[in-house]
Structure 1
Amino acid sequence: MKKKWVSFVGVILFMLLITACSSGKESDSSNQTASNGASDSSKEVKLTFFNTSAEVNSVFEDLFKKYHELHPEVTIELIPTPIGGAQLEKFQSLLASGNPATIANLDAGTILQYKDKFLNLDSEKSKYEGLTKPGAVEGALLDGQFLGVPWTAQGYGLLYNKRVVEEAIGGTFDPKSIQTRDDLEAVFKKVEAAGKSPVMIHGADWSLGAHYLGLTYSLQSNNVDDNRKFVEDLEKGTASLADNAAFNGLMDTFDLLKKYNARSKDPLVADYNKDSADFAKGETAFYFMGDWTWAVIGTLEGRDQEFGIVPVPISNNPGDYGNTQVAYSEPKLFAIDNSGSTEAQQAAAKAFIEWVVTSDEGQEAIVGQMGLALPYKDVKVKGTNILSDAVNQYVDGGKVLNISVINYLPQDYWAKTGASMQKYLVDVIDRKGLMDEVQAYWGTQAGK
């Protein structure tokens, strides 16, 4: 497969976090400057920071100022970006002008696309393997190289409203009790009998194409190279969805979700705020979505207080890969420029990044202020995102679905196949029609 990129998480941020903050300037260095061999404290170093998480620009600016107070020799200037597609164009223009940012907060797929422009961080790999949770560094590798330090983590599956589910089943709900499709339907039936809608399907193309159908490419194996090979075979026409167990199992479960969908009368309205609010306030028991929806749920008045997550079961065999694993990824990485930065800048950048993910100040900014989850072992700050906490239980137990194949998929895969999923959702096409359209899409990618 040729080098491709995608940022479905960028789409999520665009849909969910429509709050851009101001641009910035200021400073940076690290508590570990000496141990990391950063810069001589007598020499001033200026770094620039390209940020694609535009909704938290001001939080990063405050971090730069704090770091400058601790390390006066290091100054960090923010290069802000707008939310949406113009981010890539701005990044490309900086490269073309010969003035690249020292540090870039980018989607993994973009780093992969421009991997020759970034510093290989293999010398830092063992250190971050010790700092991060199991699988975090492995999931961040791009073509086997450690080109970016993970700093955020997101997971998705079937969120559940604990009160609604427990009222329906008449007792305590154990999420581990759902390991098969039949287990899931049994709970759906009880919820329906209690007068509630069992499940919410958000009808947007990014949710259907990237998150749901996109599981197909990750369910083939827990090895990203095997999954990449499967996508290559789809492109070449040597793999068929028709006889693929993971795809058909996933779609059998989707048929179940369709049957009990709270939005069955108008499934394509796709009002994200309303869907999230209705779930949070108990109008439906389950919601196919990710922990990022806490940005909406967490601010609601009159919402329920306890939520969790279960994986999307794809068969009636509990041992099948995916039935007990939650989809999980590190959507953003910190990468260091290797095309125009000096060794002193690179050393200072390494030190700053380590400070951000390990210091009290950095963790408070990421977890406490940004509301994100850090894929690190020693996180001292307690966040308010209940859904991230629920995902972390699967992470800590090694029960995650490796979805890093998405870093290698083409930019438009979620929109094109998401449109086909929308047709399937409203019964414009049947299973064969869906397979034909998805196979045809991958056929257009052959040789690119």
Structure 2
Amino acid sequence: MKLRKYASFVICLALVMGVLAGCSKSNSPNNSAKEGEGEAQTQQASKDVKLTFFNTSAEVNTVFEELFKKYNELHPNVTIELIPTPIGGAQLEKFQSLLASGNPATIVNLDAGTILQYKDDFLDLEPEKAQYEELANPGAIEGALLDGQFLGIPWTAQGYGLLYNKRTVEEAIGGTFDPASVKTRDDLEALFKKIEAAGKAPVMVHGADWSMGAHYLGLTYSLQSQNVDDNRKFVEELKNGKVNLTENPQFTGLMDTFDLLKEYNARKSDPLVADYNRDSADFAKGNTAFYFMGDWSWAVIGTLEDRDDEFGIIPLPISNNPADFGNAQVAYSEPKLFAIDDSKSTPEQQEAAKAFIEWMVTSEEGQNAIISEMGLSMPYKDLKAQSTNIISNAVSKYIEEGNIINIGVINYLPQDYWAKTGASMQKYLVGKIDRQGLAQEVQDYWKTYAGK
């Protein structure tokens, strides 16, 4: 799933990195994909326009700045200034401060939930919706809608589940590993036992609150139904005290699997150390076979020396019935969207911003920056750049087959849901509360939002 504070570093390194670029509103996506042919001449004839870009994908600030320079070369009348935010810093507070001061950024790269929260301040992109539906993979634009409105343009796609180190797993089982062989929780447990018997740690559980609250426990809200609106209704029932989580099969199934992960956790002796770089490195170098994490971890794994070369992903099994929703699907989201200010920006700035975004997601320069330099996936067809993210490529196979859990319900959750419930999950991880206590704390949290 951020998909958030330190989660910005992962769930958006995960979670995260975005870019925009553009030409002019009159250009169609197909025309803009031609590397801006004829656009510079057209734009140069118009007046100078300055855009500001608020970036919450702090890990790639320099990539954005290089793209801004390139775009300015193609369109000398358009200049774009980066408004950076620190990794894991008070990004939302900075955005709110700019908005309150009457000086908001022209373009923002924000979590979808934040755009929804401030939807009255962003431009309705409904007129542009059809052209992006034509460019994007099936369902990608629908998944980016917020209360039915097209307020932000998706530019990355992310997935998570149980990552696996192919070499480590195959050495442990003494043969070729077939990811499809793990269909149930019992299948996973049998595999963990073989790996442990071979002298390797079966799984890495990252103990940070964002991983526990957003990615793991957050699946409870997305597994209720394949329909996001139904999942929103479930959350409303939680707020109104109408749900007993200990009787909910999705919650109990997730927690039964979590108990299995706890038992075989490589960090069992110190589960809250939550050193993301260390956890990722141990997995990448084969010290642990599986890792509950997402494709954004490639930003760390891909840069390591002496790492292994082959990795993949399997769904997190939540029951012993292979047909249950979730057992064959990986979690999927479009964590960041590009949105355009409608509170202070001029019509000229808005048109230039639209053109810039279009260029960013359709041009070879933009796609190469996102896919090759940032190591992210894009929810678009006919891409011109080759992905170097091995894990992201593995996720893409599930996306192409439609085997995904749409976690879009998180766009409608309170900004603190992952931190508050993540703290409860951490208590459960170290045995400070039992299953009943965890369920009660989570239910109590949601009751504080009754009527909101």
Task: Tell me the TM-score range normalised by the shorter chain.
Answer: over 0.9
Q: Counterpart of 1:12? A: 7
TM normalised by structure 1 equals 0.92
* Cα deviation digits, residues 64-91 of structure 1 (max 9, x gap): 1111211223222222223334322222
Task: Confirm or deny: 8 A CA contact 1:28 1:76 kept in the other structure.
Answer: no
Question: Equivalents in 1 of 2:7, 2:418: separation in Å?
Answer: 12
Task: Confirm or deny: 8 A CA contact 1:224 1:404 kept in the other structure.
Answer: yes
- Change in Cα spacing, 1:355 to 1:282, as seen in structure 2 (3 Å) is same
Question: Equivalents in 1 of 2:209, 2:417: separation in Å?
Answer: 10
Q: Counterpart of 2:270? A: 266
Question: Equivalents in 2 of 1:214, 1:396: separation in Å?
Answer: 23
Question: Equivalents in 2 of 1:66, 1:101: separation in Å?
Answer: 20
Q: How far did residue 343 of structure 1 move? A: 2.1
Question: Equivalents in 2 of 1:219, 1:35: separation in Å?
Answer: 38
1:43 aligns with 2:43: no
Q: Which moved more, 1:75-84 or 1:196-205?
A: 75-84
Q: Which moved more, 1:391-400 or 1:71-80?
A: 71-80
Task: Confirm or deny: 8 A CA contact 2:24 2:43 kept in the other structure.
Answer: no
Question: Equivalents in 1 of 2:211, 2:22: separation in Å?
Answer: 39
Which amino acid is 2:219 matched to?
L
* Cα deviation digits, residues 158-194 of structure 1 (max 9, x gap): 0000011112222221212212111211211221222
* Cα deviation digits, residues 78-121 of structure 1 (max 9, x gap): 22223334322222222223222221111111100110111111
Task: Confirm or deny: 8 A CA contact 2:156 2:379 kept in the other structure.
Answer: yes
Which amino acid is 1:332 matched to?
K
Q: Which moved more, 1:71-80 or 1:364-373?
A: 71-80
Q: Counterpart of 1:167? A: 171
Which amino acid is 1:64 matched to?
F
Question: Equivalents in 2 of 1:74, 1:273: separation in Å?
Answer: 39
* Cα deviation digits, residues 331-387 of structure 1 (max 9, x gap): 110001111222222222111101101110001111121222212112221122111
Q: How far did residue 31 of structure 1 move? A: 7.6
Aligned to 1:373, what secondary structure does the other structure show?
Answer: coil
* Cα deviation digits, residues 372-410 of structure 1 (max 9, x gap): 221211222112211111111111111111001111111
Which amino acid is 2:334 matched to?
E
Question: Equivalents in 1 of 2:52, 2:273: separation in Å?
Answer: 41
Q: How far did residue 229 of structure 1 move? A: 0.8
Q: How far did residue 8 of structure 1 move? A: 4.6
1:116 aligns with 2:120: yes
Q: Counterpart of 2:200? A: 196
Aligned to 1:355, what secondary structure does the other structure show?
Answer: helix
Matches within 5 A, 1:388-427: 388-427=392-431
Q: Counterpart of 1:23? A: none
Q: Which moved more, 1:100-109 or 1:30-39?
A: 30-39
* Cα deviation digits, residues 43-77 of structure 1 (max 9, x gap): 12222211111221221111111112112232222
Task: Confirm or deny: 8 A CA contact 1:117 1:338 kept in the other structure.
Answer: yes
Task: Confirm or deny: 8 A CA contact 1:94 1:101 kept in the other structure.
Answer: yes
Q: Which moved more, 1:104-113 or 1:177-186?
A: 177-186
CA RMSD of aligned residues (A): 2.1
Question: Equivalents in 2 of 1:291, 1:7: separation in Å?
Answer: 12
- Change in Cα spacing, 1:60 to 1:425, as seen in structure 2 (3 Å) is same
Q: Counterpart of 1:439? A: 443
1:327 aligns with 2:322: no
Question: Equivalents in 2 of 1:8, 1:121: separation in Å?
Answer: 23
Q: Which moved more, 1:91-100 or 1:229-238?
A: 91-100
Question: Equivalents in 2 of 1:296, 1:7: separation in Å?
Answer: 16
* Cα deviation digits, residues 123-163 of structure 1 (max 9, x gap): 22222122122222122111111100001121111000001
Q: How far did residue 441 of structure 1 move? A: 1.1
Q: How far did residue 218 of structure 1 move? A: 0.5
Task: Confirm or deny: 8 A CA contact 1:28 1:65 kept in the other structure.
Answer: no
Question: Equivalents in 2 of 1:28, 1:201: separation in Å?
Answer: 38
Q: Which runs of 4+ in 1 moved over 3 A?
A: 6-10, 14-18, 31-41
Question: Equivalents in 1 of 2:319, 2:432: separation in Å?
Answer: 25
1:150 aligns with 2:145: no
Matches within 5 A, 1:250-289: 250-289=254-293
Q: Counterpart of 1:22? A: none
Q: How far did residue 418 of structure 1 move? A: 1.2
Q: Counterpart of 2:306? A: 302
Unmatched 5+ residue regions in structure 2? Answer: 14-19, 33-38
Q: Counterpart of 1:350? A: 354
Task: Confirm or deny: 8 A CA contact 1:31 1:355 kept in the other structure.
Answer: no
1:66 aligns with 2:91: no
Aligned to 2:206, what secondary structure does the other structure show?
Answer: coil
Q: How far did residue 7 of structure 1 move? A: 5.4
Which amino acid is 1:30 matched to?
C
Q: Counterpart of 1:340? A: 344
Task: Confirm or deny: 8 A CA contact 1:28 1:71 kept in the other structure.
Answer: no
Task: Confirm or deny: 8 A CA contact 1:8 1:414 kept in the other structure.
Answer: no
Which amino acid is 2:124 matched to?
N
Aligned to 1:99, what secondary structure does the other structure show?
Answer: coil
Task: Confirm or deny: 8 A CA contact 1:420 1:438 kept in the other structure.
Answer: yes
Q: Counterpart of 1:126? A: 130
Task: Confirm or deny: 8 A CA contact 1:28 1:74 kept in the other structure.
Answer: no
Task: Confirm or deny: 8 A CA contact 1:29 1:74 kept in the other structure.
Answer: no
Q: How far did residue 40 of structure 1 move? A: 5.6
Question: Equivalents in 1 of 2:387, 2:180: separation in Å?
Answer: 24
Q: Choose from 9, 19, 23 the match for 1:30.
A: 23
Question: Equivalents in 1 of 2:103, 2:421: separation in Å?
Answer: 37
Question: Equivalents in 1 of 2:381, 2:10: separation in Å?
Answer: 30
* Cα deviation digits, residues 249-270 of structure 1 (max 9, x gap): 1111111111211222221222
Task: Confirm or deny: 8 A CA contact 1:198 1:285 kept in the other structure.
Answer: yes
Query: Across the two proteins, how many residue pairs are aligned to each other?
Result: 435
Task: Confirm or deny: 8 A CA contact 2:7 2:88 kept in the other structure.
Answer: no
1:376 aligns with 2:380: yes
Q: How far did residue 236 of structure 1 move? A: 0.5
1:106 aligns with 2:99: no
Which amino acid is 1:111 matched to?
I
TM normalised by structure 2 equals 0.91
Task: Confirm or deny: 8 A CA contact 1:28 1:47 kept in the other structure.
Answer: no
